[in-house]
Homo-oligomer: A and B are copies of this chain.
Amino acid sequence: MPTTADALADLRARLDAAHDLQQAAAVLEWDQETYMPDGAVEARARQLATLHRLHHETLTDDVVQALLDRLTGPQSDLDPHSVDGHLVRVAARDVAQAVKIPGSLVADLAQAVARGKQAWKEARATDTFATFAPALARILELNIRKAEALGYEDQIYDALLDQYEPGMPTQAVTDVFEALRPPLVALVEDLAAAPPVDDALLRQRYPEAKQWDVGMAVLQDIGYDFNRGRQDRSAHPFTTSFSVTDVRITTRFDEHYLPTGLFGTLHEAGHGLYEQGIDASLAGTLLAEGTSLALHESQSRLWENLVGRSRPFWQHYYPKLQAAFPDQLRGVPFASFYRAINRVEPSLIRVEADEVTYNLHIMLRFELEVELVEGRLAVADLPEAWNDRMATYLGLTPPSDADGVLQDVHWALGAVGYFPTYALGNLMSAQLFTQIRRDQPSLDADLAAGRFAPLLTWLQTHVHRPGRTQSALEIMERLTGGGLSAEPWLAYVRSKYEALYAL
């Protein structure tokens, strides 16, 4: 029997190697989305498959399991509140999840996803759901097998959701969404009936180079650390972390729609600030990551919406934006700009939705996912179910499946249980912001003066530093004294938009 110290040293060496393999894979994935030449797709896929396989093998090695057993067993004198204590606990969870999924299922899923992506692309291009349906059915079947392998206490969907949002029960999501939907649908209806906001001023030509400069200046101002990160362009913006000292974001631009680049940059910055804010003592371990997708999204949405679409933020930045784009914005009053960037309009496409209607897009997907994995909805009936719900929630009927059920890539990528984290992140962002307002009465004045350090420091101290040593639910409980709630978010959008639309 090794000593606790010896067992720990051995375990850490193995976990660190697994972590290095994962981070190396992340570098290759970042490169693929930013700079890799087109011809390299096949070779890169092979390299990534090798790194992911070795990561899995390292983590599920019998010796790792034996060390974890030793360190979680009665002979262990490990302090559960030390970094090592957290590491052993979180690693035990990761390893337990990894060993539960048989290698054959991993391989089947990889193959189903490869086919799924291809089928989804074709189906979307030709607007024929039937082209995607068999691949989707297979992906659902394998996700159900995965859920059974992982196990669950209450609902099968719990096992899938738990992969992205550890510890969050399906029932809790259902409850909060049920409570939110009726008042939100009502608010959206009221806003749709109000005189529309004109956002033509955002649809002028805004040259990309200037948009890049504006975005970089804002990133500097809000505290993004370019000594430990960078920004690049990619077709689909994302954030990735190779270590707490190397956190990268990407953005894209639409020269004929200013918000794409502006708020996309702020969104990814929120994710990036989270990863950069994780305590340095966790660096190099599997604890040095965001603790859940919803908490991650709460950070991106906080900076994108609660800060980035706020009046005080633009009191500071609008004159600078006017100076950057004098031909486009000279003579445009502040109020017109502020209203334009906060225009609400029910629309078909999730990624283009405003902050009020966005959650309805997510609820629709969550409900359909639950019904699909519970066998209450057949894949063949999915387009109709989608369209029915779009009509009920948003008052719209997609003219095609390409603008409806085929719009998102997530299912084709095998991700079932992922969507709700987007809406949970929105709700958490408002729960956190309400608390920040209490703690920092000068928040609006700070934002209006371009002082972001107090806000960032609060987030780092209370949300970022713990990394995976605390779960999202623990962090939210600690900060708000309660569980998940839609109330703060609903109050936020009501107060903001009833004023903005003079309801």
CB of B24 within 8 A of CB of A47, answer yes
A3: Cβ under 8 A from any B Cβ: no
A245: Cβ under 8 A from any B Cβ: yes
List residues of chain B with CB within 8 A of the CB of A23.
43, 47
Known contacts A17-B54, A37-B229, A39-B227; is-contact A242 B47 (Cβ 8 Å): yes
Q: Mark A18-30, 1 if CB is under 8 A from B, else 0.
A: 0011011101100
List residues of chain B with CB within 8 A of the CB of A28.
24, 27
Complex CA gap A35/B226 in Å reads 11
The residue in chain B whose Cβ has the minimal distance to the Cβ of A243 is: B43
Most chain B CB inside 10 Å of its own CB: which residue of A20, A226, A244: A20
CB of B230 within 8 A of CB of A39, answer no
CB of A21 within 8 A of CB of B37, answer no
A36: Cβ under 8 A from any B Cβ: yes
Complex CA gap A225/B38 in Å reads 11
CB of A37 within 8 A of CB of B284, answer no
CB of B43 within 8 A of CB of A246, answer yes
A195 shortest CB reach to chain B, Å: 48
Would you list 27 pairs from A and B whose C-beta atoms are within 8 A, ordered by A residue?
A: A16-B50, A17-B50, A21-B50, A21-B54, A23-B43, A23-B47, A24-B24, A24-B50, A27-B28, A27-B31, A27-B47, A31-B31, A36-B246, A37-B226, A37-B229, A39-B227, A39-B228, A39-B246, A40-B242, A42-B245, A43-B242, A43-B243, A43-B244, A43-B245, A43-B284, A44-B246, A47-B242
CB of B20 within 8 A of CB of A47, answer yes
A71: Cβ under 8 A from any B Cβ: no
A368: Cβ under 8 A from any B Cβ: no
Which among B37, B54, B226 is the interface contact of A246 at CB below 8 angstroms? B37
A21 shortest CB reach to chain B, Å: 7
A46: Cβ under 8 A from any B Cβ: yes
How many A residues touch the partner, as a band?
A: 35 or more
List residues of chain B with CB within 8 A of the CB of A266.
none
List residues of chain B with CB within 8 A of the CB of A39.
225, 227-228, 245-246
List residues of chain B with CB within 8 A of the CB of A27.
27-28, 31, 47
CB of A37 within 8 A of CB of B243, answer no
What is the oligomeric copy number?
2
Known contacts A43-B283, A54-B17, A284-B43; is-contact A245 B37 (Cβ 8 Å): yes
Which A225-264 residues sit within 8 Å CB-CB of chain B? 225-230, 232, 242-246
A107 shortest CB reach to chain B, Å: 14
A51: Cβ under 8 A from any B Cβ: yes
List residues of chain B with CB within 8 A of the CB of A38.
227
Complex CA gap A67/B354 in Å reads 61
Complex CA gap A27/B48 in Å reads 12
CB of A20 within 8 A of CB of B46, answer yes
Which A138-165 residues sit within 8 Å CB-CB of chain B? none
CB of A245 within 8 A of CB of B40, answer yes
List residues of chain B with CB within 8 A of the CB of A50.
16-17, 20-21, 24
List residues of chain B with CB within 8 A of the CB of A24.
24-25, 28, 47, 50-51
The residue in chain B whose Cβ has the minimal distance to the Cβ of A232 is: B35
Which A328-373 residues sit within 8 Å CB-CB of chain B? none
A154 shortest CB reach to chain B, Å: 40
Complex CA gap A470/B20 in Å reads 35
Complex CA gap A42/B20 in Å reads 12
Complex CA gap A21/B54 in Å reads 10
List residues of chain B with CB within 8 A of the CB of A46.
16, 20, 284
Complex CA gap A38/B246 in Å reads 9
List residues of chain B with CB within 8 A of the CB of A225.
39
List residues of chain B with CB within 8 A of the CB of A42.
245
Q: Mark A264-304, 1 if CB is under 8 A from B, else 0.
A: 00000000000000000001100000000000000000000
Complex CA gap A35/B17 in Å reads 24
A52 shortest CB reach to chain B, Å: 11
CB of B227 within 8 A of CB of A37, answer yes
A229 shortest CB reach to chain B, Å: 6
Most chain B CB inside 10 Å of its own CB: which residue of A36, A47, A242, A243: A47
